[in-house]
Structures are given as C-alpha cells and as structure tokens.
Amino acid sequence: MASKALVAMKQRVRVLTARNCGRSIPAVIAELRGYLVGWKGYFRLADTPKIFRELDEWIRHRLRAIQLKPWKHGTTIFRELRARGASRDAAAQVAGNARRWWKNSGNKIHIALPGRHFDGLGLPRLAA
C-alpha cells in the first residue's frame, strides 16, 4: 500500500475524529463508518493485514480519546470507568492524569472501552 494513500487516509480520519467538535461517539462513528467502508472496499485486495490491524488500533485509540474528553475531571473519569467495569486501580491511574486524553486513551482504558464496544456502535474493522 502506498504511503501517500495512508497519509491521506489518516488525515481524513483526524478530521472526522477531531476532539473539539462536541459530537457524541455514535455521531462520530456514523461519519467515520461511511468513509471507512469505502476506503476498505477500495483497498480490500491489498495484502497488508498488519497495516490494517495497526490502523484499526489507531482509530480506536482516537475514539477512546474522544470519549475521555467530555468527562474532563478526574472524579468523573473515575466514576465513568468504574461504571464500565474498570478496576479501582486502573480507573484511578487514568483519572490521575485527567487532561491527558491521548496518553490516557492508550493506557488501561481498554478494559472499560474494549474494541467490541466500538464494534457494537457500528464501527467497521479494517482487518477482517
């Protein structure tokens, strides 16, 4: 797969998943779904499962960051993660760095917001 196509795809996903638009996760996924389904259809014959898997991980990482931002405060983050099944220690670790959305979205938040959570919201997987 050409690096120019990957750069263009990532740039488009960055625009669709901007953290400053005040949209809900289902609204973001609905916009993202239309783009990803078309992109996957165009590149479906590419024999690059590792690239598709890495793109899936990166997109879900961005969605976790979008989910964290509206919670803003450590107490809210802690409460929401605990309600979604995170352990006390994992929720406290993420809540301790409340304003670091990108860092936290790659942290132990995978327990509370796993990949199947986004699958249930309709986000297509590229690596499948």
Q: Tell me: the pLDDT tens digits for 90-119? A: 889 888 887 787 777 777 788 888 888 999
First vs last Cα of the chain: how many Å apart? 17
Q: Residue 117: what residue type?
A: H
Q: How many CB atoms lie within 10 A of CB 9?
A: 19
Mean confidence (pLDDT) of the chain: 88
pLDDT tens-digit readout, 21-34: 778 899 999 999 99
98 contact partners, CB below 8 Å, separation of at least 6:
71, 72, 73, 74, 77, 104
pLDDT for 96 equals: 86
CA 13 to chain centre: 10
- The number of C-alpha atoms within 13 Å of 111 and in the hemisphere containing its C-beta is 16
Tell me the whole-structure pTM to 2 decimals. 0.86
Which pLDDT band, with edges at 50, 70 and 90, does 70 fall under? confident
Count CB neighbours of 32 within 10 A. Answer: 21
60 has a pLDDT exceeding 90: yes
CB 66 within 8 A of CB 113: no
